[in-house]
Homo-oligomer: A and B are copies of this chain.
Amino acid sequence: MHADKPIAESTVRRLSLYLRVLEHAMERGIRTISSEELADEGGTTSAQVRKDLSFFGSFGTRGRGYHVAELVSELQRILGLGREWRVYIIGAGKIGAALASYHGFVQRGFTVLGIYDNDPRLVGTIVDGVTVRDFATLADDARRESPEIVVLAVPGEVAQAVAERVVAAGIHAILNFAPVPLHVPAHITVRSVNMALELEGLAYAIVHRDSVTPAA
Main secondary structure of the interface of A (DSSP, over half): mixed
Indicate whether A202 sits within 8 Å of B191 (C-beta atoms), given known contacts A7-B211, A8-B213, A213-B8.
yes
Contacts of A1 in B (CB 8 A): none
A51 part of interface (Cβ distance < 8 Å): no
Q: A residues touching B (Cβ–Cβ < 8 Å)?
A: 4-9, 12-13, 15-17, 20, 41-43, 78-81, 85, 87, 94-95, 97-99, 101-102, 104-105, 107-108, 110, 148-149, 151, 156, 172-175, 179-183, 186, 189-208, 211-216
Are A173's CB and B204's CB within 8 A? no
Number of chain copies forming the complex: 2
Contacts of A190 in B (CB 8 A): 216
Tell me the nearest residue of chain B to A198, going by C-beta.
Answer: B191
Supply 22 A–B pairs (Cβ within 8 Å), ascending by A: A6-B211, A12-B204, A13-B197, A16-B200, A20-B156, A20-B179, A85-B199, A87-B199, A94-B97, A95-B98, A97-B98, A99-B195, A104-B179, A108-B199, A108-B200, A110-B199, A149-B202, A173-B202, A175-B202, A189-B212, A191-B202, A193-B193
Are B108's CB and A181's CB within 8 A? no
What's the Cα separation between A196 and B81 when bound, in Å? 12
- Apart from A12-B212, A110-B199, 11 more pairs, CB < 8 Å: A4-B211, A9-B201, A12-B201, A12-B204, A13-B197, A85-B199, A87-B199, A105-B195, A149-B206, A182-B216, A189-B212
